[in-house]
Amino acid sequence: MAHSMDFKIGIIGGGQLGKMMAQEAKKFNFTVNILDPTPGCPASSVVDHQIVGGFYDDDKIRELVKCSDITTFEIEHINTQVLNELVAEGHTILPSPKVLEIIQDKSKQKRMLNKNGIPTARWVMLNDDFVETIKDFGFPAMQKACKGGYDGRGVCVVEKPEDLENSSMGESFLEELVPIEKELAVMVSRSTKKEIKCYPVVEMTFDQKANICDNTVAPARVEESIKNMALELAVRCVEALGGVGIFGVEMFLTSDKEVLVNEIAPRPHNSGHYTIEACITSQFEQHLRAITGLPLGSTELIIPAVMVNLLGAEGYQGKPCFEGVEDILRIPGVNLHIYGKKETRPYRKMGHITIVDKNLDSALEKAETVRKTIKVISEG
């Protein structure tokens, strides 16, 4: 069967995820258009055309969708009303705006998981008369904003009921603070033809100060039965959503060996960056295969990997400057990705490094060296 491969892909968002998606799109010789409010955003260097505009600018969103065969996104905070209108007019937007609406509101996401019998931490909505609501809930707990949370924002630990009275979070819910042994993640792809493939289960560690994923270890160091449980839950999440594309499903492994779904990202995800070097098909290529209806690629892990996020150093803001690059590139198996953001600030994701090694312990040791050696500071 002959295939015309002249797809025009529209991406809402031109950050690092859009950039890496565009790089993979170019392997297939797809045309790539992006919408992003920042001229010279990371993806702008590798795409055919950037529309400069915000993610709630109806006219700019329409412009992007109308010049693309298929539109996708690398960020969740988008005006879904205009996306729904465009779908009704016959345009293809994947994952569907309906999926995005569920993901955008964490309480809707929780309800969807509960409705489908997918285990998740106990939770309760907070409303004006929350004093009664939370009497029996138990503390400490997590307070989570329904909308707008990202990279650690919109989440805080609540020690006692009084803490909620001073909260300025807006619409939110309370979630049980589950005793966690590990945080796990699975990337799952589902195509327009309903083909589904999972990547290996990975474990994530977090920078407690910034509450941002610090590194990803592939494969996760957990027993086979837990991996199987995590894979099964990840597939159930994506099927329940009816999602098309790639999805990052984040989970908790509790201290009593339960696997609970924390949240779902309807796009390529930080915990899937290792796939570029360590798997046969990267998460970005897989996303493109899924939305264009091409057969999904192999998700096999070729070699163990550790991915380290490269965050802006504390105390520096301005034009980025990278210390220690030559030192880390001398280490066998080190792969450096610099995103091309014009300004660094503390804890901003400026790049990532994937260390591959046939021996996972050796990869972890190298990751520790890398973390101590490379630093993102600012010029002058």
Those residues with Cβ within 8 angstroms of residue 277's Cβ, 6 or more apart along the chain or in another chain:
303, 305, 335, 354, 356
**354 sits in which H/E element:** strand 349-356
Those residues with Cβ within 8 angstroms of residue 342's Cβ, 6 or more apart along the chain or in another chain:
38, 40, 319, 320
Mean pLDDT by 10 residues, the chain (380 residues): 85 98 97 98 98 97 98 96 98 98 96 98 84 79 86 80 74 92 97 98 80 84 98 98 98 97 97 98 98 98 97 96 98 98 96 98 96 93
What local confidence, expressed as pLDDT, does residue 154 receive? Answer: 82
Determine how many CB atoms are found less than 10 A away from the CB of residue 366.
Answer: 22
d(CA 207, CA 12): 28
d(CA 315, CA 319): 13
What local confidence, expressed as pLDDT, does residue 2 receive? Answer: 72
d(CA 351, CA 311): 7
Structure tokens at 309: 């996020």
Write down all domains in the chain, each with its CATH number in brackets.
8-93 (3.40.50.20), 122-176 (3.30.1490.20), 180-378 (3.30.470.20)
Residue-wise pLDDT tens digits, 229-270: 999 999 999 999 999 999 999 999 999 999 999 999 999 999
What local confidence, expressed as pLDDT, does residue 132 receive? Answer: 72
